[in-house]
Amino acid sequence: MQLPSLLLENAVNEFAKLPGIGKKTALRMVLHLLKQEEASVQLFGDTITKMRKEICFCRRCYNVSDGATCSICKSSFRNQRLICVVENIRDVIAIENTQQFNGVYHVLGGTISPLDGVGPDQLTIQQLVLKVQEEETEELVFALNPTIQGDTTIYFIQKKLQHLPCKITTIARGISFGGELEYADEFTLARSLQGRLPVENFVK
């Protein structure tokens, strides 16, 4: 695609680097910005640069944070002895949006995946083990994606923690709400049978 201006072309190329954005969509965005006030485009640029420059990662849970410790780790309303272990920041946001979890988080930064060259040392596993030891954590809830890599990671961390009194659980796997039994795969169906619950728990 040939563009009539170098300035336009540079801006389009920058947008086209974003995930899921091709040149045509990038052009649409740039032409949209072109119609905006100069000040609001300046604000757009500055906000993004500032975000990248000033954002920190919480030194306790590795979630994104505006300071050295994130608001969840600082909160006195949160149960600091209940830790939910997740893969990435997006999972923290997803769980927070359910408003069902009152503990704190630990972001691993991925799962153990030898094929992708990710071993335990690339993740924050060591820090998690130390934290559980030092803070006498009562329960660790694993909320990892239901993949082989996720299961391997749970197994690995659980082995490291077996000498501690910390309870280790994982989020339930089963049929999604609104899902249909006949279309569920056998593996999910089998898991949901193994993990069956008394009805009084269920309707609570």
Give the DSSP H/E element, type plus range, for residue 153.
helix 148-161
Phi, psi of 103 (to 5 degrees): -95, -155
Q: How far is the CB of 164 from a copy of itself (least distance, A)?
A: 28
> Does residue 30 touch a copy of itself according to CB under 8 A?
yes
User: Is there a contact between 125 and 107 (Cβ–Cβ < 8 Å)?
Assistant: no
> In whole angstroms, how close is the CB of 168 to a copy of itself at the nearest point?
24
CA 21 to chain centre: 22
Task: Tell me the site size for a copy of itself, rule CB under 8 A.
Answer: 55
Extract the tokens encoding 8.
């336009």
Question: Is residue 130 near a copy of itself by the rule CB under 8 A?
Answer: no
**Contact between 20 and a copy of itself per CB under 8 A:** yes
First-to-final CA distance of the chain: 58
Beta carbon nearer to a copy of itself, 4 or 114: 4
What character string, x for contact with a copy of itself (CB under 8 A) and - otherwise, covers 53-82? xxx-------xxxx---xxx----------
Q: With the CA atoms of 152, 157, 162 and 165 taken in that order, what torsion angle do they form, in degrees rounded to the nearest 10?
A: -130
- Candidates 44-52, 76-84, 112-120, 168-176: pick the segment binding a copy of itself (CB under 8 A): 44-52
Q: Does 7 bind a copy of itself (CB under 8 A)?
A: yes
Determine the interface stretch with a copy of itself among 41-49, 114-122, 138-146, 172-180 (rule: CB under 8 A).
Answer: 41-49
Binds a copy of itself (CB under 8 A): choice among 80, 81, 82, 89: 89
Task: For residue 124, give every residue at least 6 positions away whose Cβ sits within 8 Å of its Cβ, in sequence order, or none.
Answer: 62, 106, 107, 108, 109
The DSSP call for residue 175 is P
Rounded Cα distance between 202 and 65, Å, is: 35
Which residues are registered as beta bridge partners of 105?
Answer: 84
Stretch that binds a copy of itself, among 38-46, 110-118, 150-158, 171-179 (CB under 8 A): 38-46
Would you tell me which residues interact with a copy of itself (CB under 8 A)? 1-8, 10-11, 14, 17-21, 25, 27-34, 36, 38, 41-55, 63-66, 70-72, 89-90, 92-93, 96-97
